[in-house]
Amino acid sequence: MAFNILVADDSGTMRAVIKKTVEMSGVPVGRFFDAENGQEALGILENNWIDVILSDINMPVMGGMELLQEVNRNEDFRRIPLIFITTESSEARMDEARRLGVAGYVKKPFMPETIKKMLYEVLEKAYQHKAEEAPAAPADDDMDF
């Protein structure tokens, strides 16, 4: 079973790096979707089946915290786990994200292994039946670029 993954970040290069990191993690990917901000992400959610969202916090138009709130407000979307990949690294911001129900939190700068580990944890928790069909996570040393 492959997962559809939505990557929301206003930096195109960062989105490319995150997608490459996910591809190399061994997680089976059906399709990637790109959004430059939270509002674009919501539009994609309205029209596509998404299994997990990887989002920045600090974005123009609509930031990641607001996106998380909107996802949680919507009955159709609240099943979708959201992982923040962000420079916002204060304890206060992470506490706020946890209160809003974020599934995972990765600080930039990140090691590829950190994203892989977080993604597997979140996917296994959210989609245990699917994850069991997926290949086991490769060893960390398989993540070299």
Partner 1 sequence: MDEELRETIDQTFGEVFETMFFTFLDPMEELPSRAELVLDDAYVEAVIAYHGPRPGRFFLYLPYRLARNITMNFLGVDEDGVSDEQALDTAKETANMAVGSLLGRLDPEGTLKLHIPESRMMDGLPADELLANPGLRLFNTDFGLLWVVYEG
User: Which stretches of the chain bind partner 1, using CB under 8 A?
Assistant: 10-14, 16-17, 20, 58-60, 86-93, 96, 107-111, 145
Supply the minimum distance, in Å, between the C-beta of residue 58 and partner 1: 5
The torsion angle over the Cα atoms of residues 15, 129, 136 and 87, rounded to 10 degrees, is 30
Supply the minimum distance, in Å, between the C-beta of residue 56 and partner 1: 9
CB 53 within 8 A of CB 81: yes
Please name the amino acid found at residue 15.
R
DSSP state of 58: S
Cβ distance to partner 1 smaller for residue 86 or 104: 86
Cβ distance to partner 1 smaller for residue 91 or 132: 91
Supply the minimum distance, in Å, between the C-beta of residue 119 and partner 1: 18
Which alpha helices (H) appear in the chain, and where do they start and end?
12-25, 38-47, 64-73, 91-99, 112-126, 128-131
Cβ distance to partner 1 smaller for residue 4 or 114: 114
CA distance 94 to 111: 19
Supply the minimum distance, in Å, between the C-beta of residue 34 and partner 1: 14
CB 45 within 8 A of CB 69: no
Cβ distance to partner 1 smaller for residue 26 or 80: 26
